Structure 1
Amino acid sequence: CLNRALQAGSRVILNQVGLFADGVAVKQVGAEPFRLAKKYVDEVITVNTDEICAAIKDIFDDTRSIAEPAGALAIAGLKKYVERGQITGQTLVAIDSGANINFDRLRYVAERAQVGEHREILLAVSIPEEPGSFLAFCKLLGGRSITEFNYRYFDAAMAQVFVGISSSGLETDRASVIAHLQAHGFLVTDMTTNDLAKEHIRYMVGGHAPCELHEIIYGVEFPERPGALLKFLLELGGRWNISLFHYRNHGAAFGKVLMGLQMPQTEQKSFEQCLEELGFIYQEATENPAYRLFSGGMS
């Protein structure tokens, strides 16, 4: 295919990648092969794992077939080439190859595709450990949706949260969001391109709470629509301190939140009434063995 393209006088671009999306390490293309390759191609483009996952999603959206990472590599490079050069009005061709991907890898691809399309920003944010802080943070995001929020009480003064935020699809949007949060006094660390954070840390945010926390645990289900999470927090109105919070948008009709609250048992009825007025489905989970073993209070 390369020879035919060269003979036809086409512009040829070569992709370079060091790690495929299925987690199989591939030897990085070295300097000597690159030097030789550049004799026959016009440009070299480097793509990362997230961009390959986004390309796999694009191929599926267009053809209803799922390409493996090697097959999606050309699409990923072509997308980056178009974005970087703001190219319009041209016909571009990518050579796709490879068999269907292993089904077990699809969840990994789906989680990484949003970042690869610049539609999800992942941040670590420090917020004051006090009622209403999460609400104030959400208000700053305006009309953006929160795609994920992981938090566990640890320090009495400052909370560390892992948060996913929907993005417009533009690479520049990430810097704008971070600058906006920093301007309002939040300490922000960008985790969007941090592989360790995306593959491990986001699922490890947690730990046991001290016994004196006296928290009550609820599983809450609510309609997944823009603003639903913010509406939920507004209804709570900062009356109770949230000591545990986990939410992840999965594209389903209903969102699920696991949350812990510091409240006297005498106030449980008021909290549950709040949920009922919102029409949310809920269940207390304080005695759930999974919570007790991995997140509950320890002496």
Structure 2
Amino acid sequence: MFEEKRSILEPAGALALAGAEAYCRFYNLKDENVVAITSGANMNFDRLRLVTELANIGRQQEAVLTTFIPEVPGSIKQFCNLVGPISITEFKYRYDSKKDRALVLYSVGVHTKIELQDMMDRMKLFQLETLEFTNNDMVKDHLRHLMGGRSNVENELLCRFTFPERRGSLVQFLDVISPRWNISLFHYRSQGETGANVLIGIQVSSNELNEFRCSANDLGYDYEIESDNEGFQLLMR
């Protein structure tokens, strides 16, 4: 509705439109006039946030997945290369030195099921176990927000970067950082703005700090070091 008419419906108001689409698919109706009575008067900012979270998934334009990657430097870069041309809209990872494999939770923007299956086949070819949770309400509503947690990571430098909201900006970052330094934390969610606020943990020893700053400055992305942030010390250490 929004893409065609630039009108936003409340979830209950859009139910009639969803039902009409399902009816046409079930009876294979084409070139017919179908009327759906909709409403949008009860829209507010809380409901708008819900709509933005559910719309792409409901239209099967976004998929939620998990992939197990080796807990070694450079594995995130390899993972992103395997995702390929598909846009990553969400990415959550936390380093755990006690495990051989790390679990990455992420969302990707897809246009067709074939496109998604091709990406999953690439992961399988490199023996990276991948599971889809697009239709799992528990993961979408709760568990996606509980990834990671406390972890005692040696020489961890916490940074907030502003990535350009364009395809390839993550790979460009990894080309500079990985595998020179190990990434210990990564949190990103696309907000549809010109710049994406990304929280990243990187293992940088004290004698490498100047080298890291030079590399980060050459990258050209705005960033701030947040290692002394009280919230980080309390919740993630």
Q: Normalized against structure 1, the TM-score is what?
A: 0.73
- In the alignment, residue 212 of structure 2 is paired with which amino acid? F
What residue in structure 2 maps to residue 284 of structure 1? Answer: 225
What is the aligned-residue identity percentage?
39
Listed one character per residue, the Cα deviations across residues 210-252 of structure 1 (whole Å, up to 9, x for unaligned) are: 2x52311111112111111111111224111111110111100
Tell me how far 1:92 sits from its aligned partner: 2.7
Listed one character per residue, the Cα deviations across residues 82-132 of structure 1 (whole Å, up to 9, x for unaligned) are: 566775533332222463324312111101111112111111110000111
- Could you tell me whether the CA contact under 8 Å between 2:158 and 2:202 is conserved in 1? yes
Tell me how far 1:279 sits from its aligned partner: 1.0
Aligned equivalent of 1:161, options 82, 97, 104: 104
What residue in structure 2 maps to residue 223 of structure 1? Answer: 164
Question: Alpha carbons of 1:179 and 1:68: their partners in 2 closer, same or farther (altered >3 Å)?
Answer: same
Tell me how far 1:182 sits from its aligned partner: 1.7
Listed one character per residue, the Cα deviations across residues 258-290 of structure 1 (whole Å, up to 9, x for unaligned) are: 111112111122222222112111111000011
What residue in structure 2 maps to residue 191 of structure 1? Answer: 133
What residue in structure 2 maps to residue 125 of structure 1? Answer: 67
- Could you tell me whether the CA contact under 8 Å between 2:159 and 2:199 is conserved in 1? yes
Aligned equivalent of 1:271, options 208, 212, 217: 212
Residues paired across the two proteins, number: 236
- In the alignment, residue 154 of structure 2 is paired with which amino acid? L
Question: Alpha carbons of 1:83 and 1:266: their partners in 2 closer, same or farther (altered >3 Å)?
Answer: farther
- In the alignment, residue 181 of structure 1 is paired with which amino acid? M
Aligned residue runs from structure 1 range 2-81, under 5 A: 58=1, 60-81=2-23
Q: Normalized against structure 2, the TM-score is what?
A: 0.91
Considering Cα pairs closer than 8 Å and 6+ residues apart, tell me whether 1 or 2 has the greater RCO. 2
Listed one character per residue, the Cα deviations across residues 123-172 of structure 1 (whole Å, up to 9, x for unaligned) are: 1110000111011111112111111111111244110111111101x345
- Could you tell me whether the CA contact under 8 Å between 1:65 and 1:100 is conserved in 2? no
Larger deviation, residues 95-104 vs 120-129:
95-104
Alpha carbon RMSD of aligned pairs, Å? 2.0
Which runs of 5 or more structure 2 residues have no equivalent in the other structure?
none
Question: Alpha carbons of 1:224 and 1:79: their partners in 2 closer, same or farther (altered >3 Å)?
Answer: same
- Separation in structure 2 between the aligned mates of residue 277 and residue 101 of structure 1, nearest angstrom: 45
Aligned equivalent of 2:198, options 257, 261, 265: 257
For the residue of structure 2 that corresponds to 1:71, the secondary structure is coil
For the residue of structure 2 that corresponds to 1:213, the secondary structure is coil
- Separation in structure 1 between the aligned mates of residue 229 and residue 6 of structure 2, nearest angstrom: 41
- In the alignment, residue 160 of structure 1 is paired with which amino acid? L
What residue in structure 1 maps to residue 117 of structure 2? Answer: 175
- Separation in structure 2 between the aligned mates of residue 236 and residue 82 of structure 1, nearest angstrom: 50
What residue in structure 2 maps to residue 7 of structure 1? Answer: none
For the residue of structure 1 that corresponds to 2:54, the secondary structure is helix
